[in-house]
Amino acid sequence: MSSSVSLPVSIASAGCVSPLGLDMPETAESLRKGTSGIGPVRLFSVEGCQCRTAGQVDDRLSGRAAEIAPRSRRWSRAAQMVLVAMAEALQGSRGFRPDVVVIGTTSGGMSLGEEFFRALASRQGVAHATRRVRNYVPHQPIIQALQVFGIDAPVRIISNACASGSNALGVARQLIRDGAARRVLAGGYDAIAELVFAGFDCLKASTPEICRPFDALRSGLALGEGAAMFCLQPGDAEVQITGYGSAIDTHHLTQPHPSGRGPEQAMQAALHDARLSAGDVDYVNAHGTGTPLNDSSEGRAILNLCPTVPVSSTKSMTGHALGAAGVIEAAFSLLALKDQFLPPNINFRQGDADLPLNIVDTSRPAKLRNVLSNSFGFGGSNASLILSLK
């Protein structure tokens, strides 16, 4: 069914699990305090790696998940994160039954892939590991969580690198606006895995120091993990997703176009979709990974559009959650709008002369109505969202 009149898309409720907390209230407090959720890796050995830190979800995760569903103790960390975030979102919007579920992830974590490659190396248990990899599907953690709540709805997975989560929210919004669905459960998840951690370390994309996005001395990203879920429906709730834009620049497999043309096109498309001008944006939650090339590309795009707007990268506190980053940062943007404050870009000490951005280095109150949230990924996949306070 389609509609000739675009419907407003409201956020009925949301849930979030990240290195800053296991729910939205914990997360809001950590954001206001500028708490760092990045620390020494404790989930696996990092001996031999240049980088030895990451943003990891609190060890209370398993217990919190077990309170919701005792059988979840046997689930993967990714599935436990999804369960906890989904439970908070559904509790905040009682009676919410989605017509469809749209999820962004890069794969949810590569624990099964790790098992497979270890089996190959040791030549033990290869057949068992092969079966597990062959039968694994990225929506498995979502299905497990939905079954706990008795929800039987089709699941659509979007996986286009680090823009996955934002694109999931954008697609969900479009389904509602077009009248193709009345209620959509949208979100994303990714869990840190040793295989992925080692891969980024080999690429020299990870920093052996601290993650300091947009700083002149930035030297790389820190990986993170988490999940966030949004209950979306038509209506005039307090906060709406008013804009979504995507763009592909296809410049390089891993490097963004130095001009920032892809990010700028995504942001312009989101503004056009929201029927806003660049001057209407009150805060940009930047993709801001902390890598020299990524921050330079995004910074140029922001300067071209809205050079004086306050900007921060909350990845300085959480690390980069890959496919989940966009939805987690959309949850942070939602909290910023509701509580009227600017989340900080911690560890920022020295401005980059080539990127004279208005960096928010400490949390502070602010009057916010429109927040722009960016997510940019490998292969030139770019997505931007606009959340607005009504």
Q: Hey, how many other C-beta atoms are within 10 angstroms of the C-beta on 89?
A: 26
Closest Cα to residue 245, out of 331, 165, 167, 159?
Answer: 167
Tokens found for residue 347: 């560890």
Indicate which residue of 162, 211, 231, 306 is catalytic.
Answer: 162
- Known catalytic membership, residue 202: no
Indicate which residue of 16, 51, 257, 287 is catalytic.
Answer: 287
Q: What are the residues whose beta carbons fall under 8 Å from the beta carbon of 139, sequence distance 6 or more?
A: 103, 155, 157
373 to each of 9, 37, 229, 282, 288, how far by Cα in Å?
Answer: 16, 20, 16, 11, 11
- Known catalytic membership, residue 162: yes
- Known catalytic membership, residue 320: yes
Tracing tokens 């062959």 back to the chain, one arrives at 134
The CA distance from 367 to 151, in Å, is: 38
| Residues labelled catalytic | 162, 287, 320
